[in-house]
Structure 1
Amino acid sequence: MSTLKARLTRCAAALGLFLTAVACGSEPRDERLTVMVPWSGDEFQAFYAVIKTFEEDTGIQVDLEVTRAQTQQLDAAVAAGAPPDLAVLPSVGALNQYAGGKGLKPLGDTITEDYAQPFRGLGTVGGEVVAVPVKADVKSLIWFNPTVTRAPESTTLPALRTLSRRASGAWCLGLASGPTSGWPGADWIADILLSRSGTDAYRNWLSGRLPWTSPQVSAAWQAWRGIVAGSVGGASVRRFAEAADGMTAEPPTCFFGHGTLSAMGFPPTADGTRTAYDFVTSAPEPVRRLEVSADFVGRFTDNPNAERLITHLSSAEAQRTWVNEPGGYGFSANSRVRPGEYDNPAQRRIAGMLRPEARYTLCFSAADAMTPDLSAAFYRAVLDYASDKSLLPTLLEGLDMVRSGRGESPVPPDDLCALPS
């Protein structure tokens, strides 16, 4: 067992849900900083590879606080006046929650100058850069195992519904994910709305001008339920990663999955194009709109080493290391990291979709752009709808009520979608 894994094991045994990685059992050093992260498994290992190079280059020790309950843990730490030096913020809604003197410290304007839109603008609140998008993802993807099935002939809604009618359990659907259970369905519903109704409807929905009960939003929910109708049984308690395993099982227990490459949990040794997995975009031609997301890093203290680490994490060199770590499956929003520099063929193709020459309009993930209370209600509604489709009118009315009480997306509508630049 590696030193890192041994420390993680000791910390997990001692602290249960909240893990303090690397700091446990380490010798005290004069220069150090703490970073709170939500990742585990291969995603964590990919991030730690970048941290190691920073420690080796600077002599600064980085203590990683790994938690499965990021929002709750960070809220408690900030409220107690003992925040980490840096924290990974998995949503723009969370980022805005801490901006404006509520915890996040401003960063230099030049730190994101190499970053493409819409990612670059989303880290700016009130004219100040407060976070850097250090890891990007594309959500509008449909995955399949080319050794056992062909790509969908079309990704129009009728064609995707036909897949469910042809085979019960065609979709690898799992909605369970701890405190964020329901997010796989929420991402897919937003993806359908974006593809079917366009960027104006998408922006208006998130800004509060298009109600949850509107025909466009309601139709997106119904379309999702129609696509997964044969696979929805037990999905509310089935973990997403475990469901995706069915695609590469022998024999396969399901054939198609929707979502990001990093969430699928495919083996890192796979060829990426013809061996264990392949993909098509969920937006049918000529639609060229993609739902994307990002993890941001923000600074919560005046520790001078914190900004040094952010500068390192956002650099093209560190980003190249990060995206090429086996099994991490990350993507960079740094325009200096070219698609040809990705080792994995599937990542290379997806990275190309984030470039200006691909001419895709990139729209930030809907749930990630909502206030934390509204996104949590969205996830719960997905779980309820998966169990009982007759609940939809009541659920959508309830979401409108939550939004009226908790506020619309804190992200300016014009910042939600953009052609990369």
Structure 2
Amino acid sequence: MRSNGRRRVMLAGSAVAAAGLLLTACSSNGSSSSSSSDTGSSSPSASLSAECQPYANYMGHDGTTVTMFGSILSPESDSLEKSWADFSKCTGITIQYEGTNEFESQLPVRVQGGQAPDLAIIPQPGLLARLAASAKPAPQAVSDNVDKYWAAGWKGYATVDGKFYGAPMSANMKSFVWYSPKMFSDKGYQVPSTWDDMMKLSDTIANNGDGIKPWCGGIGSGTATGWPATDWLEEIVMRNSGPDVYDQWVNHDVKFDSPQIKDAMGILEKWMKNPNYVNGGYGDVSSIATTTFQDAGLPILKGQCYMLQQASFYAAQWPDGTKVGPDGDVWAFYLPQMNDKYGVPVEGGGEFLTAFADRPEVQAVQTYLSTPEWATSRVKVASGWVSANNGVPADAYTSPIDQLSAKYLTDPKATFRFDASDLMPAAVGAGEEWSQFTSWFAGTTSTDAMLKAIDAAWPTS
């Protein structure tokens, strides 16, 4: 996510005075708005309670409502709303959040129909680029925060034709395998350190005679069904062909119907389409297409499968009471390298808060959610949520999985790449690729036909 010459709001005398200045700062021309991390000559209004002083620079919008739309569902959305509860209470801005499994298809419909939300949490830069003509450039204060608190690459993911549209909200570590430490211990299995070791372990589990499959999986996600499978392919491309090929693939300089991607599909077929390996707890290979990603790992808790490849944010999907940790009910290990030529491949994703309105209260919310103060609040209420905002104190992460995620996301030896399908044009990465993968797992299309169809969906301009 990514000089801090922010315009300072001089708070003198009362919250009313602060309100007028913030209204000026948050004008519709995209000029600087204040952030809660401003320092210097500003001083909190004497009329504010101690708990509301951190939000002094966002006052003046009492009684307003800001709508927000995203793909984050309960229980994760519950912690999202808790993270801004104090801000909302103190500023009087009601943030009306709506989450849906049909976000990727519904957001364009709403935007094109004149019913756009004030703010949208967009996890695909490709979708953001598609809707940029209808979006509002981020205020200068948001841009300044990203420059100060995120690594440089993050800002580019939300920049279209030279205009910056939104601060990253989260960063997630996708290169994880969830497993049961107890099941491993009971059988004497070791966490694999290489891809070959992981495949040998899968063979051992498949042949141990107890009928428990090594892997479980699901790619169901409403109108976004198919996205987990794109992650599996991306992880393989990074490890098998390296970051340069990965980048060329994102730009369609390397086609889906190319030797490198066909080779990766062959590896994926031997892994997650292997009837001896999947789909523990649910059925045959085709059940992956109909099992939701939220439910995909639950058989691990029932002793019906050993492993699930999923991101760090899957921590929020385990039922209440599940202990996550090295000695817990579930834990995670790094999805191993195939060789040591490409460093430590790490795939990640993120979400970008993009505005479709530029009212002062909307810009106030967008600015606050770009600060380390908000990110720290979110970290504290949400296990499994990690930010690449370097203003978040390391000790704010208290859950083991968040600490493990941060370790890989900040590893200087890591070869980090953003989720490829999220970077591709929306018609491809959030469209044809998802549907083709769903058909591929359901057994209704071949690999060759699938790859050709995805290439054909690539926009010509």
TM-score (norm 2): 0.76
Look up the SS of the partner of 2:349 in the other structure.
strand
Please list, as runs of the form range in 1=range in 2, the aligned pairs for 1:203-214 lying within 5 A after superposition.
203-214=247-258
Residue number among 352, 364, 371 corresponding to 1:315 in the alignment:
371
Determine whether 1:59 maps to 2:115: no
Q: CA deviation at 1:389?
A: 8.8
- Aligned counterpart for 2:362 among listed residues 306, 311, 333: 306
| Deviation of 1:372 (Å) | 1.6
What pairs with 1:344-383 in structure 2 (closer than 5 Å)? 344-355=399-410, 357-375=411-429, 376-383=431-438
Contact kept, 8 Å, 1:118 with 1:362, in 2: the verdict is no
Q: For 2:97 and 2:331, how far apart are their aligned partners in 1?
A: 33
Structure 1 residue 326 displacement after superposition = 4.4
C-alpha distance in 2 between matches for 1:358 and 1:324 = 25
Whole-angstrom CA distance in 2 between matches of 1:336 and 1:273:
28
Is 1:73 the counterpart of 2:124 in the alignment? no
Tell me the CA shift for residue 226 of structure 1. 0.4
Would the aligned equivalents of 1:107 and 1:128 in 2 still touch at CA under 8 Å?
Answer: no
Q: Which residue of 2 aligns with 1:88?
A: 121
| Aligned partner of 2:318 among 246, 266, 287 | 266
TM superposition shift of 1:80: 2.6
**Match for residue 237 of structure 1?**
290
Which residue of 156, 180, 202 maps to 2:195? 156
Mapping of 1:122-271 within 5 angstroms?
122-149=157-184, 150-157=189-196, 159-160=198-199, 162-164=201-203, 166-167=205-206, 169-228=213-272, 229=274, 230-231=277-278, 232-249=285-302, 252-263=303-314, 265-267=317-319, 269=321, 270-271=323-324
- Deviates further, 360-369 or 51-60: 51-60
- Partner SS, residue 290 of structure 1: strand
Residue 161 to residue 378, structure 1, CA distance change in 2 (3 Å):
farther
What do the CA deviations read for 1:322-375 (whole angstroms, capped 9, x no partner)?
Answer: 123244x111010112443201012112112222x5421210101111112112
Q: Secondary structure at 1:240's aligned position in 2?
A: coil
Is the 2:218–2:289 Cα contact (8 Å) retained in structure 1?
A: yes
Q: Is the 8 A contact 2:171 2:387 kept in 1?
A: yes
The answer for unaligned runs of 5 or more in structure 2 is: 1-61, 207-211, 279-284
Distance 1:171 1:192, change over 3 A: same
Aligned residues of 1:42 and 1:326 also touching (Cα < 8 A): no
Is structure 2 residue 159 aligned with structure 1 residue 105? no
Q: CA RMSD in A?
A: 2.2
Following superposition, the deviation at residue 157 of structure 1 comes to: 4.6
Q: Which runs of 5+ in 1 are unaligned?
A: 1-28, 408-421
Deviation at 1:32, TM superposition (A): 2.0
- Supply the AA of the counterpart residue of 1:277: V
Report if the CA contact (8 A) 2:137-2:163 is conserved.
no
Change (3 A) 1:271 1:206: closer
Q: Cα–Cα, structure 1 residues 184 and 48, in superposed 2: closer, same or farther, change >3 Å? A: same
Q: What is the CA-CA distance between 1:81 and the residue it aligns to?
A: 2.5
- Pick from 418, 422, 442: which aligns with 1:387? 442
Amino acid in structure 1 at the alignment position of 2:139: L
Equivalent position amino acid for 2:181 in 1: P
Tell whether 2:371 aligns with 1:289: no
SS at match of 1:396: helix
CA contact (8 A) 2:439 2:445 kept: no
| Percent identity between the two aligned chains | 23
> Deviations along 1:280-305, whole A, 9 cap, x unmatched?
21142633111110011011112111
Question: Once structures 1 and 2 are overlaid, which stretch shifts more, 179-188 or 387-396?
Answer: 387-396
Partners of 2:300 and 2:460 lie apart in 1 by 39
What residue is the counterpart of 1:415 in the other structure?
none
Q: Give yes or no for contact 1:268–1:326 (8 Å, CA) kept in 2.
A: no
- 1:247 positional shift: 1.1
Report which stretch shifted further, 33-42 or 157-166.
157-166
CA drift at 1:272: 2.2
Count residues in correspondence. 374
Cα separation, partners in 2 of 1:289 and 1:236, compared to 1, 3 Å: same
Counterpart of 2:287, as a letter, is: G
